[in-house]
Amino acid sequence: MNLPGPEDYIDIHTHDEVASVPGTFSVINLMAHEEDRPGNICSAAWTFGIHPWFLTELTHELQMNAVYEAAGNPSVIAIGEAGFDKLRGPSVELQRKAFEEQVTIAGEYNKPVIIHCVRAWEELFRAYKRLKPGLPWLVHGFRGNKDLAAQLIAKNMFLSFWFDFIIRPEASELIRSLPENRIFLETDGSGVDIRNIYLKVSADLEITVDKLKRIIFKNFLDFFNLKNY
């Protein structure tokens, strides 16, 4: 497993195949319904999972087999994005089944889970209560309020912020209210420059970009249980 350094920008979730910014460690998200597989494209690290938008009864088993196959790849550092979406996708029952199966796979391979959740927080909390995961979850694309953020963090979850939300002025109060050891930043394949996101968040926290890099690097080590690195 290739790893970032404390001097790197870490883009924890993107769909871009190659990082466009020098000095960036990008975690590429691949989805089970796509043809691309880890190792077929240039990246140091991937996540792999079943996105609820593209889950169907007909493809469920095929996609789950793809997750099993990818999970054993040492460069696949997490399972996901997986989760719940009440605006798009199949029935909540099928989403729940696929999500719990992916969490089980993640546990078998000792890998954390990347979460996609849209207007389905109660489903996520119920799944967390049922599954009692031993490894942390990371909610990607977060754009909720302080109360929701606090509930997620209380359940040993990390937050990565929706790229468009976190650069807005109204996000400043939220980022300042959160513990630094629970945050990540991402571009989600948007084409946004990760350096600009770091610049905005470092200004919100009144710290240097270099210090923010070190904070997120430590969070990376903690999330992936690499404390001895």
Cα separation values, 6 from 82, 101, 163, 182, 218, Å: 28, 34, 21, 16, 8
Residue-range domains of the chain with CATH: 9-223 (3.20.20.140)
Full-prediction pTM beyond 0.95? Answer: no
Model confidence pLDDT, tens digit, residues 127-181:
999 999 999 999 999 999 999 999 999 999 999 999 999 999 999 999 999 999 9
Q: What is the dihedral of CA 229, 197, 137, 26, to 10 degrees?
A: -50
Model confidence pLDDT, tens digit, residues 61-91:
999 999 999 999 988 999 999 999 999 999 9
